[in-house]
Structure 1
């Protein structure tokens, strides 16, 4: 029933853990497609040495994670495509829970379980999944406004026919997955289980981790809403053709949540002017928190920076980090 797609690029240290977590699923009706995106280490060789008829390796020149996922989807022979990142892992009942969601809501096109995050990739994660799961249809935009990781590329499965309608993944430097979830959610129903069935490791050299480590020169101040993120840019592009999109409260809430997140980051960057610029781009109605932050940047910037200093000291205290 499932085609499992793992995009792979230089994850020699982790790929066998990911593949083993698929092969050890209690739900056994699947094929596993590992797309090697031009790895320069032994990643692909390790997978090719696995003796299991359910495993296929596709090799291609390095194009990026989005195109690698697209190659896997094109090669998939089943109706549902489940994704797993090469440095993450599933718990044994992941596909079974995905199947439970689909059986509960057969009209949905994108489904997801929940992940546990850990910063220790050497740690074996054990979860008690004996509790009854809360499986429900969600409004993706409302839920993602509260928690942007409500769906991620290790927890999600999508109907293959959806790709024919909305196209494949793009290849942005960051935000590729979020842009794709927005594309799907704008057209189709989404369902979610709160059962934790996968592990997201934060210390494996993933895209967001690498971006946070590398000091980036300050870019131009965001003057246009569409420059905020790929997902926001997509929604605004659709709105140019279908004006009613920006009359949807869930879409407005989502866009404002991305703005608010950028405003908070600007607080830690001590960029008061950026906060003011972002606040001016807000859509109405916007949240009370956004109004408070925007007003503080306009009227009381010294208080805002003082609050930032206290917050950073508190974080260092918790994490026992030196100043």
Structure 2
């Protein structure tokens, strides 16, 4: 019986699937099986799989369902004590299995381990590296719903924990993975970070109106499921209105990034209607969310994004225009702190100075001054070395 089961659900990605399969077969750790669930493909996926002639591959074709159901099917067909996943257009780093198996073996109480990952363009060019442990070293329950701290290919989970929460809720299309992490956290599954990049995620141009509305529908459906069960929602620590406001605020930002201002304005207005506290203290929380999202991998440029928001505010929020320069400064401040977490001291200094230029009152931010001084000390030490 193999120790690890790798599950790849696939549909009509024959042109990309081979690269995903090769990244599994070329792992430095070899005690695994690879279960490929063909979810109703109409291309030559079967031929791609059978061409590998590797006894560790298990291939199953089923009628078209959805990725959550396909992942569950793969787990049902598998035997490994440890389970991990890979999407058909992504690929593992060579030591992904070795690193995560070692962590689970060394820590028997840990139920799931999570690594970092690189987001890349279809050409393979690096867009951004995700290191969730920097921003959420000890994640709260809410973080699993709203912070996108894990990707299915970045994790490895014990079969016992997968079965304990019932696998993926395939009814929650587009949000089944987020709900899965939430259920694990709600059941207090012990988590460990593996502070290495374990896979590469291929980013596609999918921010169409239709796709975004589909994703939003899935997220709303997930929250409805959570708040329909008082045994779950009471542990969340926030009201239904505030939770939905977080979702609509997030989708407003997503649609601003996709240059869909009319949809963005509608969602932003609804978020504020659900949670008026977003406007307290000169809309401090609202600006903080916008500034954080400005550095999302889906935005082409943080300042272009911030200015787009302020150029396309809902009519009832038009008075916030007077805070545009402060909001731009906030965006640079968030960028400075992100750069500090990633130990990029040159960008720390650049972002701090841009924050000062946009809003001189940024000089009153003690934390900002602190990381500026540390970045300068670090630069001086390197120049003397």
Same fold (TM over 0.5): yes
Contact 2:35 2:78 in 1 (8 A): yes
Matches within 5 A, 1:72-87: 72-87=74-89
The residue correspondences of 1:1-323 to structure 2 (distance < 5 A) are: 1-121=3-123, 138-139=138-139, 141=141, 143-144=143-144, 147-148=147-148, 150-169=149-168, 170-187=170-187, 188-203=189-204, 209-210=205-206, 212-213=207-208, 215=210, 228-238=219-229, 240-241=230-231, 244-247=234-237, 257-265=246-254, 268-270=260-262, 271-282=264-275, 288-290=284-286, 300-301=317-318, 303=320
SS in 2 for 1:33: strand
Q: For the Cα contact (< 8 Å) 1:228–1:259, is it kept in 2?
A: no
Deviations 1:99-139 (A, max 9, x none): 133134322222221110011345699x9xxxxx99x9742
Q: Could you tell me how far apart the structure 1 residues matched to 2:223 and 2:89 are?
A: 27
CA gap of 1:159–1:248, structure 2 versus 1, over 3 A, is: farther
Q: With structure 1 as the length reference, what TM-score do the two structures score?
A: 0.73
Q: 1:234 to 1:218 in 2, by over 3 A?
A: closer
- What is the SS of the residue equivalent to 1:45? helix
**SS at structure 2 position matched to 1:78:** coil
RMSD (Å), alpha carbons: 4.1
Unaligned runs of 5+ in 1: 128-132, 204-208, 312-323
**Secondary structure at the counterpart of residue 98 of structure 2:** helix
Give the 3-state SS of the residue equivalent to 2:164 in structure 1.
helix
| Residue 321 of structure 1: aligned partner | none
Residue number in structure 2 paired with 1:206: none
In 2, Cα distance between the equivalents of 1:124 and 1:52?
31
Aligned residue pairs: how many?
A: 288
TM-score, normalised relative to structure 2: 0.63
Helix, strand or coil at the partner of 1:196: strand
SS at match of 1:99: helix
Measure, in 1, the Cα distance between the counterparts of 2:213 and 2:37. Answer: 34
Counterparts in 2 of 1:261 and 1:2: CA distance versus 1, 3 Å: same
Cα displacement string for residues 258-294 of structure 1 (whole angstroms, at most 9, x for unaligned residues) = 3431343465533545323222334989994237889
Contact 1:116 1:196 in 2 (8 A): yes
RCO (CA 8 Å, sep 6+): is it higher in 1 or 2?
Answer: 1
Aligned equivalents of 1:263, 1:165: Cα separation in 2: 35
Q: Is the 8 A contact 2:114 2:194 kept in 1?
A: yes
Q: Distance in 1 between matches of 2:117 and 2:212?
A: 33
More helix by share: 2
* Secondary structure at 2:36 match in 1: strand
| 1:153 to partner: Cα distance | 1.9
SS in 1 for 2:60: strand
C-alpha distance in structure 1 between counterparts of 2:255 and 2:58, whole Å: 45
Structure 2 regions of 5+ residues with no counterpart? 291-312, 329-385
1:122-173 CA deviation, whole Å, 9 max, x = no partner?
5699x9xxxxx99x9742646557742x211221222222233221321444
Please tell me whether the aligned partners of residues 8 and 36 of structure 1 are also in contact (alpha carbons under 8 angstroms): yes
